[in-house]
Copies of this chain bind each other. A is one copy, B any other.
C-alpha cells in the first residue's frame, strides 16, 4: 500500500509540509497519491539510525545478509500487479518492460545474495608471521574488505526498479554491509514506496537492525543536498544527469571529510562504422540501429546518440536508410513531461547549430508526452569544432558524423568526452588496419562492443558500466554487476591479532571455506 510517507528506518513518518504527486505520462494526468517530502529532522533521524544500525549490520554474517537480500526479492515479487501497475502509471513504460526490469532487479538482489553467502568476495589475504626473519621478525598480517558506512542512493529516473530503491546501488551496498538511505526519485515515488515497504518487511523478517534502510521522499534538490552533506554519510551512489552528478560530487568534495560519490551520468555512446561494413551491410545496420536508437524511447544511458563514419556513397545510403527506418517506428511515451520537455529543448538547440542537417524526423502529430525521433547528420570538421554537438540529447535522437577520412575519424574519437561505451562495426577483413583507432576509442570508454549495439547491459562479473569522466565520476569502479560492491568497501588489516577475535573470514580454520590469498597463493585451505 502506498502511504505517501517516508520510511525513517522501519517507521512511517510525514512531518513535513511540502507535498507532491507523481504523473501518468500516457494519461497526461497526475496520479492520486500524495507524497510528503522528508524534513531536515526526518533526514537526520534516518542518518542517525543508519549510523547506529551500521555498528550491528557490519558484523552480520554473509549468510544472513544473503537471506535479507533474497527476502527483499521475494517481497518485491509478492507486490505482484500493484507494483507493475504503479510502475507503468509513473513512467508511461509498457508492462513488458516493467516485468523485465523487475526480473533484473530480483536477479541482481539474488546475485549479490549468492556472492556474500559464498563469502570470497571480501578478498581475504593472509601473510603469516616469520618470527625468525632477520634483521626484524615479520608480523602476522591479515586483510579483508569491510563496509565503509551509511550510503545514500539516488534513484534513477529511467530505471525505477533496477537502478532505484532496491536497485543495483542499494543491493550492492546492503550486500557489503552498509545501511542505505534512498533519496526517492520524485517521478516514481509510488513505485519507490512499494519497493521500500518490501525492503522494510524483509529487514524485519530477517532480523536486521532498524535503520538498515530508509526511504526519503523529495520533490526538489534539498533532501539530496542535506543527505550528501551529513557527516555520518560515508558514500553516495547516483544515476542521472551530468549536471546533477557533478553538483553532488562538488558538494561531497567540500565536506570536512570528503566522501566518494559514484555517479553514473551522461553518454552519447559513439558507434564507429568502418567502410567495408558500411559497404556490405549498411542496410541491415540501419535497421538494427533504428531499433537501438528508439528502444525505450531512447531513454537508456547506453543509447547510441552518435554514429561516426567516413564519407562515402555507402555512408550516404546508410544515413538515408537509417532515417527512413527510424521514422517508421511508432513514437512512444517518455517518462515525464519534464523529460519530454528537456528532449525537445536539447534537440532543438542542437539542430539549430550551424552545419546540422536533419535527415529524418517523425512529423505526424503525437499524443502528449510522446517523443518524436530524429536522425541528423553533420560533417566531421564541423563536429570537431563545436562542443555543443558532443552533448547528449537524452531521447530517441542520433547524430551521424561524416568524417573526411580515417585520420579525421580518429581525431574526432580522441576529442570525445568520456563515454560509457564505444562500438566498432567492422568486417574481419578491415579491422586490422584500424588498430590505433580502436586503441583511441578504448581510452574514451569503459566498454567496447564489436559488431553489436550499446543498448542492453548484461549483469555479469565481466561487465563494466562506467567510463572516463563525465560518463562516471570514478571509472575505477563499475556500477553494474557484482563487482560494483567494491564501491562500498575498504580494505582493513589486522596485525598479530588473536585468532578468536578475528572475523571468521580471516581465522586460521577458514570456517567459511572461502578462497583466500595465503602467503600469496590462492587457496581454500585452513592454516
Mark A residues whose CB is within 8 Å of B: 55, 59, 125-127, 136, 138-139, 141-143, 146, 148-149, 249-250, 253, 257-258, 260, 418, 428, 431, 435, 438-439, 442-443, 446-452, 456, 458, 460-464, 466, 468-470, 473-478, 483, 486-487, 489-498, 501, 515, 517, 520, 522
When A and B form their complex, which 5 residue pairs have the shortest distance between CB atoms, in order from nearest?
A253-B253, A464-B493, A447-B493, A143-B462, A449-B495
A124 to chain B, nearest CB (A): 9
A53 CA / B428 CA spacing, docked (Å): 29
CB nearest to A476 among chain B residues: B490
20 contacts between A and B (CB under 8 A): A59-B439, A125-B462, A139-B452, A143-B464, A146-B442, A148-B476, A258-B473, A435-B501, A446-B491, A447-B495, A448-B493, A450-B494, A450-B497, A450-B501, A461-B517, A462-B517, A464-B492, A466-B491, A476-B489, A476-B490
Give the nearest-CB partner of A423 in chain B: B495
Docked-complex contact A446 and B492, CB < 8 angstroms: yes
**Docked-complex contact B253 and A439, CB < 8 angstroms:** no
CB neighbours (8 Å) of A487 from chain B are: 476
B452 near A496 with CB under 8 A, answer: yes
Contact A461 B495 (CB under 8 A): no
Q: In whole Å, how far is A85's beta carbon from the nearest beta carbon of chain B?
A: 22
Docked pose: A432 CA to B343 CA in angstroms:
62
Closest to A54 in B: B443
The verdict on A493 contacting B260 (CB below 8 Å), with A59-B439, A452-B139, A498-B428 known, is no
CB of B495 within 8 A of CB of A448, answer: yes
Inter-chain contact A495/B446, CB cutoff 8 Å = no
In the bound complex, residues from chain B placing their C-beta under 8 Å from that of A470 are 257
| B501 and A438 contacting across the interface, CB-CB below 8 Å | yes
Q: How far is the CB of A181 from chain B (nearest CB, A)?
A: 18
Given A458-B139, A462-B126, A446 contacting B490 (CB threshold 8 A): yes
* Inter-chain contact A257/B469, CB cutoff 8 Å: yes
- Closest chain B CB from A527 CB (angstroms): 13
How many whole Å from A190's CB to the nearest CB in chain B? 27
Q: Kindly provide the distance from the CB of A155 to the nearest chain B CB, expressed in whole angstroms.
A: 23
Set of chain B residues within 8 Å of A260, measured between Cβ atoms? 474, 476
Contacts of A486 on B, CB cut-off 8 Å?
Answer: 476
CA distance A249 to B463 in the complex (A): 30
Contact partners of A447 in chain B: CB under 8 A = 492-495
A475 to B, closest residue via Cβ: B490
Query: Which residue of chain B has its CB nearest to the CB of A470?
Result: B257
CA distance A458 to B460 in the complex (A): 36
Across the interface, do A127 and B460 meet the contact criterion of CB distance under 8 Å? yes
Knowing A461-B125, A498-B428, the reply to whether A442 touches B492 (Cβ < 8 A) is: yes
Q: In the complex, which residues of chain B have a beta carbon less than 8 angstroms from the beta carbon of A478?
A: 491
Contacts of A515 in B (CB 8 A): 522
By a CB distance below 8 angstroms, the chain B residues around A476 are: 148, 260, 486-487, 489-491
Name the residue on B nearest A491 (C-beta). Answer: B464
Given contacts A446-B492, A461-B125, A498-B428, A456 and B142 within 8 Å (CB-CB): no
B-chain residues with CB within 8 Å of residue A458 when the two chains form the complex = 127, 138-139, 141
Smallest CB–CB gap between A457 and chain B, Å?
10
A452 touches B495 (CB 8 A): yes
Whose C-beta in chain B lies nearest to the C-beta of A235? Answer: B476
B501 touches A431 (CB 8 A): yes
A471 to B461, CA, bound (A): 32
Q: Which of B127, B442, B463, B483 contacts A461 (CB 8 A)?
A: B127
Shortest beta-carbon distance, A414 to chain B, in Å? 10
Q: Of all chain B residues, which has the CB nearest A461?
A: B125
Known A-B contacts A141-B458, A458-B127, A469-B257; the reply to A497 vs B448 at CB < 8 A is yes
Q: Are B493 and A451 in contact (CB under 8 A)?
A: no
Task: Looking at the assembled complex, report how far the CB atom of A503 sits from the nearest CB atom of chain B, in whole angstroms.
Answer: 10
Nearest neighbor of A135 in chain B, beta-carbon distance: B100
Q: When chains A and B are docked, how far (Å) is the Cα of A449 from the Cα of B142?
A: 11
Q: Which residues of B have CB within 8 Å of A489?
A: 476
- Whether A142 and B462, one on each chain, are in contact in the complex, defined by CB atoms closer than 8 angstroms, is yes
The complex places the Cα of A463 from the Cα of B496 at a distance, in Å, of 12
Q: Which residue of B lies closest to A473 (CB)?
A: B258
Chain B residues positioned under 8 Å from A469 (CB to CB): 257-258
Contacts of A55 in B (CB 8 A): 439
CB-nearest residue of chain B to A259: B469
Report how far A518 CA is from B141 CA in the complex, Å.
Answer: 30
